[in-house]
Homo-oligomer: A and B are copies of this chain.
Amino acid sequence: MIRFGVIGAGRIGKVHAATIAANPKAKLVYVADSFKASAEALAAQTSAEVADAEDVINSPNVDAILIATPTPSHADLIEAAARAGKAILCEKPVSLSVERINACLDVVEKNKSTLMIGFNRRFDPNFASVEARLRRGDVGDIEIVTITSRDPTPPPADYVKSSGGLFRDMMIHDFDMARFLMGEEFVVVNALGSSLVDKAIGAEGDVDTAAVQMQTASGRIAVITNSRRATYGYDQRIEVHGAGGMLAARNIHATSVELSNANGVSGDPVQYFFLERYAQAYANEINAFIDAIVSGNRSPKPGGLDGLQAQKLAEAATVSWQTGRPVQVA
Protein backbone atom coordinates (compact mmCIF):
# COMPACT_ATOMS: atom_id res chain seq x y z
CA MET A 1 0.00 0.00 0.00
CA ILE A 2 1.61 3.23 -1.20
CA ARG A 3 0.85 6.07 1.25
CA PHE A 4 0.47 9.42 -0.49
CA GLY A 5 0.84 13.00 0.51
CA VAL A 6 -0.72 15.45 -1.93
CA ILE A 7 0.71 18.96 -1.96
CA GLY A 8 -1.57 21.38 -3.74
CA ALA A 9 -5.34 20.95 -3.57
CA GLY A 10 -6.26 22.80 -6.75
CA ARG A 11 -7.88 21.36 -9.87
CA ILE A 12 -5.17 18.87 -10.70
CA GLY A 13 -4.53 17.97 -7.09
CA LYS A 14 -8.20 17.08 -6.67
CA VAL A 15 -8.27 14.92 -9.78
CA HIS A 16 -5.21 13.00 -8.67
CA ALA A 17 -6.44 12.68 -5.07
CA ALA A 18 -9.62 10.99 -6.28
CA THR A 19 -7.66 8.52 -8.39
CA ILE A 20 -5.30 7.73 -5.52
CA ALA A 21 -8.29 7.18 -3.22
CA ALA A 22 -9.84 4.75 -5.71
CA ASN A 23 -6.65 2.77 -6.34
CA PRO A 24 -6.53 -0.32 -4.08
CA LYS A 25 -2.73 -0.25 -4.09
CA ALA A 26 -2.59 3.29 -2.71
CA LYS A 27 -3.90 5.35 0.19
CA LEU A 28 -4.19 9.10 0.47
CA VAL A 29 -2.84 10.09 3.88
CA TYR A 30 -2.22 13.84 3.84
CA VAL A 31 -3.30 16.88 1.88
CA ALA A 32 -1.40 20.16 2.05
CA ASP A 33 -2.24 23.52 0.51
CA SER A 34 -1.09 27.02 1.41
CA PHE A 35 -4.78 27.91 1.23
CA LYS A 36 -6.01 25.89 4.23
CA ALA A 37 -9.69 25.73 3.23
CA SER A 38 -8.81 23.97 -0.01
CA ALA A 39 -6.76 21.38 1.81
CA GLU A 40 -9.56 20.80 4.29
CA ALA A 41 -12.22 20.38 1.66
CA LEU A 42 -10.18 17.85 -0.29
CA ALA A 43 -9.13 16.01 2.91
CA ALA A 44 -12.76 15.72 3.98
CA GLN A 45 -13.78 14.25 0.64
CA THR A 46 -11.01 11.68 0.62
CA SER A 47 -10.79 10.79 4.34
CA ALA A 48 -7.26 12.18 4.46
CA GLU A 49 -5.69 14.53 7.00
CA VAL A 50 -4.55 18.10 6.51
CA ALA A 51 -0.91 18.90 7.18
CA ASP A 52 1.75 21.43 6.24
CA ALA A 53 3.74 20.64 3.12
CA GLU A 54 6.92 20.28 5.14
CA ASP A 55 5.32 17.87 7.58
CA VAL A 56 3.82 15.83 4.75
CA ILE A 57 7.19 15.53 3.09
CA ASN A 58 8.92 14.46 6.27
CA SER A 59 6.21 12.17 7.61
CA PRO A 60 7.34 8.56 8.16
CA ASN A 61 3.78 7.57 7.14
CA VAL A 62 4.23 8.83 3.60
CA ASP A 63 5.87 6.93 0.73
CA ALA A 64 5.04 9.15 -2.18
CA ILE A 65 4.51 12.85 -2.77
CA LEU A 66 2.30 14.35 -5.45
CA ILE A 67 3.31 17.93 -6.19
CA ALA A 68 0.45 19.92 -7.72
CA THR A 69 1.35 23.40 -6.55
CA PRO A 70 2.07 26.47 -8.74
CA THR A 71 5.22 26.13 -10.85
CA PRO A 72 7.60 28.36 -8.81
CA SER A 73 7.54 25.94 -5.86
CA HIS A 74 8.08 22.72 -7.85
CA ALA A 75 11.86 22.51 -7.76
CA ASP A 76 12.12 23.27 -4.05
CA LEU A 77 9.47 20.70 -3.17
CA ILE A 78 11.09 18.06 -5.37
CA GLU A 79 14.41 18.62 -3.63
CA ALA A 80 12.85 18.42 -0.19
CA ALA A 81 10.95 15.26 -1.04
CA ALA A 82 14.02 13.71 -2.63
CA ARG A 83 16.04 14.41 0.51
CA ALA A 84 13.25 12.86 2.59
CA GLY A 85 13.50 9.69 0.49
CA LYS A 86 10.05 9.90 -1.06
CA ALA A 87 8.93 8.89 -4.51
CA ILE A 88 7.81 12.02 -6.36
CA LEU A 89 5.26 12.78 -9.06
CA CYS A 90 5.51 16.47 -9.94
CA GLU A 91 3.28 18.40 -12.31
CA LYS A 92 5.15 19.86 -15.26
CA PRO A 93 7.29 21.87 -15.44
CA VAL A 94 10.01 21.37 -12.86
CA SER A 95 10.94 25.00 -13.47
CA LEU A 96 10.81 27.59 -16.23
CA SER A 97 14.62 27.80 -15.96
CA VAL A 98 16.79 25.10 -17.45
CA GLU A 99 19.50 25.90 -14.90
CA ARG A 100 17.14 25.42 -11.99
CA ILE A 101 15.97 22.10 -13.44
CA ASN A 102 19.56 20.93 -13.73
CA ALA A 103 20.27 21.81 -10.10
CA CYS A 104 17.11 20.06 -8.97
CA LEU A 105 17.84 16.91 -10.95
CA ASP A 106 21.28 16.80 -9.32
CA VAL A 107 19.61 16.57 -5.93
CA VAL A 108 17.25 13.88 -7.21
CA GLU A 109 20.12 11.89 -8.59
CA LYS A 110 22.25 12.24 -5.45
CA ASN A 111 19.35 10.90 -3.39
CA LYS A 112 18.57 8.18 -5.93
CA SER A 113 14.98 9.33 -5.83
CA THR A 114 12.15 8.17 -8.01
CA LEU A 115 10.88 11.20 -9.94
CA MET A 116 8.13 11.22 -12.51
CA ILE A 117 7.02 14.38 -14.35
CA GLY A 118 3.33 14.96 -15.05
CA PHE A 119 3.25 15.08 -18.82
CA ASN A 120 -0.28 13.74 -18.69
CA ARG A 121 -0.77 13.47 -22.44
CA ARG A 122 1.60 10.53 -22.68
CA PHE A 123 -1.06 8.61 -20.76
CA ASP A 124 -3.99 9.54 -22.98
CA PRO A 125 -5.21 6.18 -24.35
CA ASN A 126 -5.20 7.51 -27.92
CA PHE A 127 -1.70 8.95 -27.87
CA ALA A 128 -0.36 6.05 -25.82
CA SER A 129 -1.76 3.69 -28.45
CA VAL A 130 -0.01 5.61 -31.21
CA GLU A 131 3.29 5.50 -29.34
CA ALA A 132 2.98 1.79 -28.59
CA ARG A 133 2.23 1.06 -32.23
CA LEU A 134 5.16 3.18 -33.38
CA ARG A 135 7.50 1.22 -31.12
CA ARG A 136 5.95 -2.00 -32.45
CA GLY A 137 6.82 -0.81 -35.95
CA ASP A 138 3.34 -0.29 -37.37
CA VAL A 139 4.56 2.47 -39.68
CA GLY A 140 8.25 1.56 -39.89
CA ASP A 141 10.87 4.29 -39.68
CA ILE A 142 9.36 7.57 -38.55
CA GLU A 143 9.77 10.48 -40.95
CA ILE A 144 7.36 13.30 -40.00
CA VAL A 145 5.58 13.93 -36.68
CA THR A 146 2.79 16.51 -36.83
CA ILE A 147 1.20 17.85 -33.64
CA THR A 148 -1.79 20.17 -33.63
CA SER A 149 -2.61 21.67 -30.26
CA ARG A 150 -5.13 24.43 -29.70
CA ASP A 151 -6.75 25.62 -26.50
CA PRO A 152 -10.44 26.47 -26.54
CA THR A 153 -9.97 29.95 -25.08
CA PRO A 154 -6.98 32.19 -24.41
CA PRO A 155 -5.79 32.71 -20.83
CA PRO A 156 -6.09 36.17 -19.28
CA ALA A 157 -3.20 38.46 -20.11
CA ASP A 158 -2.34 38.46 -16.40
CA TYR A 159 -1.67 34.73 -16.49
CA VAL A 160 0.45 35.16 -19.60
CA LYS A 161 2.72 37.58 -17.78
CA SER A 162 4.01 34.95 -15.36
CA SER A 163 3.63 31.91 -17.60
CA GLY A 164 7.03 31.99 -19.25
CA GLY A 165 5.35 32.49 -22.61
CA LEU A 166 3.49 30.17 -24.98
CA PHE A 167 6.48 28.02 -25.84
CA ARG A 168 7.26 27.23 -22.17
CA ASP A 169 3.71 27.22 -20.89
CA MET A 170 1.65 25.59 -23.63
CA MET A 171 3.88 24.10 -26.32
CA ILE A 172 5.95 22.39 -23.60
CA HIS A 173 3.41 19.56 -23.75
CA ASP A 174 3.90 19.25 -27.49
CA PHE A 175 7.69 19.26 -27.18
CA ASP A 176 7.36 16.33 -24.80
CA MET A 177 4.90 14.61 -27.12
CA ALA A 178 7.19 15.10 -30.11
CA ARG A 179 10.09 13.52 -28.19
CA PHE A 180 7.82 10.74 -26.91
CA LEU A 181 6.63 9.85 -30.39
CA MET A 182 9.85 10.41 -32.31
CA GLY A 183 12.13 8.47 -29.98
CA GLU A 184 15.11 10.56 -31.10
CA GLU A 185 16.32 13.93 -29.81
CA PHE A 186 15.88 17.09 -31.84
CA VAL A 187 18.98 19.12 -32.73
CA VAL A 188 17.52 22.21 -34.36
CA VAL A 189 14.43 24.29 -33.61
CA ASN A 190 12.75 26.90 -35.85
CA ALA A 191 9.92 28.95 -34.40
CA LEU A 192 7.40 31.45 -35.73
CA GLY A 193 4.98 33.27 -33.49
CA SER A 194 2.27 35.90 -33.75
CA SER A 195 -0.29 37.61 -31.62
CA LEU A 196 -3.48 37.12 -33.63
CA VAL A 197 -5.97 35.98 -31.01
CA ASP A 198 -5.69 38.62 -28.32
CA LYS A 199 -3.63 41.79 -28.68
CA ALA A 200 -3.26 41.95 -24.89
CA ILE A 201 -1.14 38.79 -25.12
CA GLY A 202 1.08 40.46 -27.69
CA ALA A 203 1.31 43.51 -25.45
CA GLU A 204 2.75 41.25 -22.72
CA GLY A 205 5.51 40.26 -25.16
CA ASP A 206 4.06 36.86 -25.82
CA VAL A 207 2.42 35.12 -28.78
CA ASP A 208 -0.88 33.26 -29.05
CA THR A 209 -0.33 31.56 -32.42
CA ALA A 210 2.85 29.68 -33.18
CA ALA A 211 4.50 27.12 -35.39
CA VAL A 212 7.68 25.19 -34.69
CA GLN A 213 9.59 22.83 -36.92
CA MET A 214 12.38 20.66 -35.55
CA GLN A 215 14.80 18.15 -36.99
CA THR A 216 16.71 15.24 -35.46
CA ALA A 217 20.30 14.33 -36.24
CA SER A 218 19.11 11.64 -38.64
CA GLY A 219 16.90 14.13 -40.47
CA ARG A 220 13.47 13.26 -39.12
CA ILE A 221 11.11 16.22 -38.86
CA ALA A 222 8.50 17.36 -36.35
CA VAL A 223 6.01 20.16 -36.94
CA ILE A 224 3.97 21.69 -34.12
CA THR A 225 1.28 24.36 -34.40
CA ASN A 226 -0.38 26.03 -31.43
CA SER A 227 -3.21 28.44 -31.01
CA ARG A 228 -4.56 29.86 -27.77
CA ARG A 229 -8.13 29.71 -29.15
CA ALA A 230 -10.20 27.20 -31.11
CA THR A 231 -13.92 27.92 -31.32
CA TYR A 232 -14.65 24.21 -31.80
CA GLY A 233 -13.08 22.98 -28.57
CA TYR A 234 -9.79 21.64 -27.27
CA ASP A 235 -8.01 20.55 -30.45
CA GLN A 236 -5.51 17.82 -29.65
CA ARG A 237 -4.29 15.77 -32.58
CA ILE A 238 -1.14 13.89 -33.55
CA GLU A 239 -0.07 12.33 -36.79
CA VAL A 240 3.02 10.28 -37.50
CA HIS A 241 4.13 9.51 -41.04
CA GLY A 242 6.60 6.73 -41.60
CA ALA A 243 8.07 4.53 -44.27
CA GLY A 244 5.21 2.06 -43.85
CA GLY A 245 2.21 4.32 -43.35
CA MET A 246 0.64 6.92 -41.09
CA LEU A 247 -0.77 6.73 -37.57
CA ALA A 248 -3.09 9.48 -36.44
CA ALA A 249 -5.09 10.20 -33.29
CA ARG A 250 -8.22 12.22 -34.02
CA ASN A 251 -10.09 14.57 -31.72
CA ILE A 252 -12.60 13.34 -29.16
CA HIS A 253 -16.17 14.57 -29.45
CA ALA A 254 -18.77 14.89 -26.73
CA THR A 255 -21.04 12.23 -28.28
CA SER A 256 -21.16 10.09 -31.41
CA VAL A 257 -24.40 11.73 -32.53
CA GLU A 258 -24.73 13.14 -36.03
CA LEU A 259 -27.52 15.27 -37.44
CA SER A 260 -28.13 15.17 -41.20
CA ASN A 261 -30.34 17.78 -42.77
CA ALA A 262 -30.39 20.30 -45.57
CA ASN A 263 -27.34 22.02 -44.06
CA GLY A 264 -25.25 18.85 -44.23
CA VAL A 265 -24.05 16.39 -41.62
CA SER A 266 -22.99 17.76 -38.26
CA GLY A 267 -21.51 16.26 -35.13
CA ASP A 268 -20.75 17.55 -31.67
CA PRO A 269 -17.88 19.94 -31.00
CA VAL A 270 -14.61 18.56 -29.74
CA GLN A 271 -14.47 18.08 -25.96
CA TYR A 272 -13.88 21.53 -24.58
CA PHE A 273 -12.29 21.28 -21.15
CA PHE A 274 -8.82 19.84 -20.55
CA LEU A 275 -9.88 18.00 -17.39
CA GLU A 276 -12.60 16.22 -19.38
CA ARG A 277 -10.45 15.57 -22.45
CA TYR A 278 -7.62 14.15 -20.37
CA ALA A 279 -9.61 12.62 -17.49
CA GLN A 280 -8.47 9.13 -18.43
CA ALA A 281 -4.93 10.33 -19.01
CA TYR A 282 -4.67 11.82 -15.51
CA ALA A 283 -5.97 8.62 -13.96
CA ASN A 284 -3.66 6.42 -16.04
CA GLU A 285 -0.73 8.67 -15.18
CA ILE A 286 -0.96 8.37 -11.42
CA ASN A 287 -1.84 4.69 -11.61
CA ALA A 288 1.31 4.15 -13.70
CA PHE A 289 3.29 6.00 -11.04
CA ILE A 290 1.81 3.77 -8.33
CA ASP A 291 2.54 0.65 -10.39
CA ALA A 292 6.12 1.79 -10.86
CA ILE A 293 6.66 2.19 -7.13
CA VAL A 294 4.94 -1.12 -6.34
CA SER A 295 7.02 -2.97 -8.89
CA GLY A 296 10.28 -1.39 -7.81
CA ASN A 297 10.81 0.59 -11.02
CA ARG A 298 12.94 3.54 -9.89
CA SER A 299 12.82 5.31 -13.27
CA PRO A 300 9.22 5.69 -14.35
CA LYS A 301 8.76 7.65 -17.53
CA PRO A 302 8.51 10.54 -18.16
CA GLY A 303 11.32 11.29 -15.70
CA GLY A 304 13.39 14.30 -14.78
CA LEU A 305 15.44 14.19 -17.98
CA ASP A 306 12.25 14.29 -20.01
CA GLY A 307 11.25 17.40 -18.11
CA LEU A 308 14.66 18.90 -18.80
CA GLN A 309 14.69 18.12 -22.52
CA ALA A 310 11.21 19.52 -23.12
CA GLN A 311 12.26 22.69 -21.30
CA LYS A 312 15.37 23.00 -23.47
CA LEU A 313 13.23 22.78 -26.60
CA ALA A 314 10.85 25.39 -25.21
CA GLU A 315 13.83 27.60 -24.46
CA ALA A 316 15.22 27.11 -27.96
CA ALA A 317 11.86 27.87 -29.54
CA THR A 318 11.53 31.03 -27.51
CA VAL A 319 14.94 32.22 -28.62
CA SER A 320 14.25 31.22 -32.24
CA TRP A 321 11.03 33.20 -32.24
CA GLN A 322 12.74 36.20 -30.63
CA THR A 323 15.73 36.23 -32.98
CA GLY A 324 14.06 34.96 -36.14
CA ARG A 325 16.75 32.30 -36.50
CA PRO A 326 17.04 28.55 -36.01
CA VAL A 327 18.49 27.47 -32.68
CA GLN A 328 20.71 24.43 -32.20
CA VAL A 329 19.95 22.21 -29.21
CA ALA A 330 22.75 20.32 -27.51
Q: Interface on A for B, CB 8 Å cutoff?
A: 125-126, 129-130, 133, 138-139, 141, 143-144, 146, 148, 150, 188, 190, 192, 194-197, 209-211, 213, 215, 219-221, 223, 225, 227, 229-233, 235, 241, 243-270, 324-326
Asked if residues B249 and A257 are in contact (CB atoms below 8 Å), the reply is yes
Known: A143-B227, A245-B260. A255 touches B126 (CB 8 A): yes
**Pairs A–B under 8 Å by Cβ, sample size 21:** A125-B255, A129-B255, A129-B268, A138-B259, A139-B261, A143-B227, A188-B324, A192-B215, A196-B243, A211-B223, A213-B223, A223-B223, A232-B260, A247-B258, A247-B259, A248-B257, A249-B255, A250-B258, A252-B256, A253-B265, A260-B270
Residues of B within 8 Å of A227, CB to CB, are: 143-144, 241
Residues of B within 8 Å of A264, CB to CB, are: 232, 253, 266-269
Closest Cβ–Cβ distance, residue A321 to chain B (whole Å): 11
Q: How far is the CA of A296 from the CA of B151 in the complex (A)?
A: 41
Closest Cβ–Cβ distance, residue A88 to chain B (whole Å): 28
Closest Cβ–Cβ distance, residue A247 to chain B (whole Å): 5
| Extra pairs beyond A194-B215, A230-B260, A231-B244 (5, CB < 8 Å) | A133-B259, A194-B219, A231-B262, A232-B264, A246-B261
Asked if residues A257 and B126 are in contact (CB atoms below 8 Å), the reply is yes
Known: A209-B221, A225-B144. A232 touches B326 (CB 8 A): no
For A229, the closest partner residue in chain B by CB is B243
- Number of copies of this protein chain within its complex: 4
Most buried by B among A243, A254, A262: A262
Most buried by B among A188, A192, A243, A247: A192
Q: Which of B230, B246, B247, B325 contacts A246 (CB 8 A)?
A: B230
Asked if residues B263 and A266 are in contact (CB atoms below 8 Å), the reply is yes
Residues of B within 8 Å of A225, CB to CB, are: 144, 146, 221, 223, 241
Known: A264-B266, A269-B263, A326-B324. A251 touches B245 (CB 8 A): no
Asked if residues B259 and A139 are in contact (CB atoms below 8 Å), the reply is yes
Closest Cβ–Cβ distance, residue A225 to chain B (whole Å): 6
List the 6 closest pairs (A to B, CB-CB), nearest first. Answer: A245-B261, A194-B219, A266-B266, A232-B260, A250-B256, A246-B260
